[in-house]
Structure 1
């Protein structure tokens, strides 16, 4: 076949894809109408339904297009479709182009209205009072550990965990300049600069490192200062109009940040779920071992356990536990019931949600 004939064949496929997208949109509108009629407060975004779509597509996937690309395409299709049913908003720890902003877009696509918040408590508050449908907040870094502000708000808030997002830590060097040899200063958050010291010493020996209170402030300084650069995520290049001088400037590959999606409703079972709880107990020898044994005896896998100091009394702690399964699954439900019946143990289920599809 000639090049022109191949392009015409692709154009024909594009037309069919477009027609199918429009047909899908019509069915989505019918779903939205049915939801409005059948419920006083319909749930338009169903994390378990979206996770099921992605897993079904991954199971049937074959061919040269990477499955990750298929996930990205359908995430945008689902995002646009949901906003045909209802315009939904997501509040995230800002400002624009932070890792949390990237995580929010990864989870919800680009059709949701994204609203930055100045602090983690503000993210929770906006969802609690109904000004946002969902929130995205950082909870853990593989390099720096847990984010205590998020754990403390989870302990006090009526909101539920609806999902989690894992985002690789990829630092980039951004600047008004066009080549590395023009850079004399590099701005960055202290932790970020520390994660990139070897790269900076190798590729920019002799430059002056300037610590800033946030990555966003670093990017603004680089935009305002000649012969300077900032270390930030790749989204910041377009958001702040800067050139991308180098990618993957972090010294250690494989680091990830973990984020939580918070909302006012519990996701239903998807078949591939995780549950997060918090618990506290009176100070007795071996009590934590007894609590964890409840899960071990049922063969329930624990994926994380963290602790933070209790606000009530010195040297007492609140424990946060993640385990496989939904709170309504038989074994997890039995374990939670046994925990709740123990004298001196307080348990709060923070949420059951689909495990992320990468």
Structure 2
């Protein structure tokens, strides 16, 4: 076979491949057009829902509720279930995240959502807010957890996002304390895997690094990796990972440890990804608001219990849960200020307050304690 023949064969193969690519791209363009129309149709329906709620509210003189956590949880779970049945190459969670953003845009058409979160911008709490409400929501960073509670209580923000516990570091006491003096309710939860990145700026001189910024917990969670890779570089604690990322804008000899949101927010490069010592490290966040949430089919209920100061009080309180088959998922204790040696218990359990067994267990607890407040029944984290 001559070289000329080989060249002709190669040319024919290239032409066939290019024709196939053109055909596939045309099919993608067609599907894109169909998707565009379907998303547009969904958005129009969302606007109609919003208009109906506003009209209905005017008729009955009440404030309409646009964000329905139980409805969104049901939609996302249904999407993941249908995705499994469709033999899709996209994972269930990634498919749900796509729909989460579509739903976020549609909700914004109904009524823009203002979400307060423990800031600054670029923190994991910021990432949790975006994960739960989507990028079409308006997120507002606040300095303290107390500020988040206050902003939502005053109606300046519709909802708030605050951290409550980390699988490595434990409970966030400031969040639990926030409920002691607040009438706000828990309306949702977010579980966020905590992945730390080693970030540098475009102008960073990597060979001349002299300090690494991060929050003290992040530095602790990456201690082994840092000991191995940057044992002689100073580690500087700052107020948040967002603040660590921000500082790189003006320094050429520094790096930061922070998450994906901080990297995107401050246009930083991930020199190393997922450097945490514990890859299963996860933080749970709570969504706080004013309204009661209807059952979604897979819920949690959180209660605050003020016990009598006597021996065996806690054991007595927990017996109704076992009696009625209610699974407790966590319990935390906080001092009941200003009372000396008095404590309150924060208890999370599976199920909704409208479930017969949950209601029976709580009703049986009430006579045993000085005070019992249902902080909320809400959908379990979906994605």
TM-score by length of 2: 0.90
Q: In the alignment, what sits opposite 1:113?
A: 138
Number of residue pairs matched?
A: 357
Cα offset, 1:312, TM superposition: 2.6
Cα offset, 1:27, TM superposition: 1.3
Contact residue 175 and residue 223 of structure 1 kept, 8 A: no
Q: 1:52 aligns with which of 49, 55, 74?
A: 74
SS at match of 1:140: strand
Q: In the alignment, what sits opposite 2:275?
A: 249
Q: 1:31 aligns with which of 43, 46, 49?
A: 49
Q: Which range moves more in the overlay, 67-76 or 210-219?
A: 210-219
SS at match of 1:77: helix
Contact residue 145 and residue 174 of structure 2 kept, 8 A: yes
Q: In 2, distance between residues paired with 1:76 and 1:3?
A: 29
Q: In 2, distance between residues paired with 1:198 and 1:356?
A: 31
Q: In the alignment, what sits opposite 1:288?
A: 314
SS at match of 1:206: coil
C-alpha distance 287-247 of structure 1, shift in aligned 2 (>3 A)? same
After TM superposition, list the pairs within 5 Å mapping 1:125-144 onto structure 2: 125-144=150-169
Q: 1:334 aligns with which of 343, 347, 360?
A: 360
Q: 1:10 aligns with which of 28, 35, 41?
A: 28
Cα offset, 1:178, TM superposition: 5.8
After TM superposition, list the pairs within 5 Å mapping 1:48-127 onto structure 2: 48-61=70-83, 62=86, 63-127=88-152
Q: Residue by residue, what CA displacement relative to the aligned partner does 1:210-241 show, whole Å, maximum 9, x if unpaired?
A: 22233233223333222210111121122123
Q: Please provide the CA RMSD for this pair.
A: 1.5
SS at match of 2:378: strand
After TM superposition, list the pairs within 5 Å mapping 1:181-220 onto structure 2: 181-220=207-246
Q: Which range moves more in the overlay, 296-305 or 183-192?
A: 183-192
Q: In 2, distance between residues paired with 1:29 and 1:223?
A: 41
Gaps of 5+ in 1: none
Q: In 1, distance between residues paired with 2:50 and 2:240?
A: 41
Q: In 2, distance between residues paired with 1:190 and 1:302?
A: 31
SS at match of 2:348: strand
* Correspondence 1:42 to 2:68: no
Contact residue 47 and residue 110 of structure 2 kept, 8 A: yes
Runs of 4+, deviation exceeding 4 Å = 177-180
Q: In 2, distance between residues paired with 1:214 and 1:148?
A: 17
Gaps of 5+ in 2: 1-18
Q: 2:176 aligns with which of 127, 131, 151?
A: 151
Q: In 2, distance between residues paired with 1:178 and 1:65?
A: 36
After TM superposition, list the pairs within 5 Å mapping 1:270-281 onto structure 2: 270-281=296-307
Cα offset, 1:190, TM superposition: 2.3
SS at match of 1:320: strand
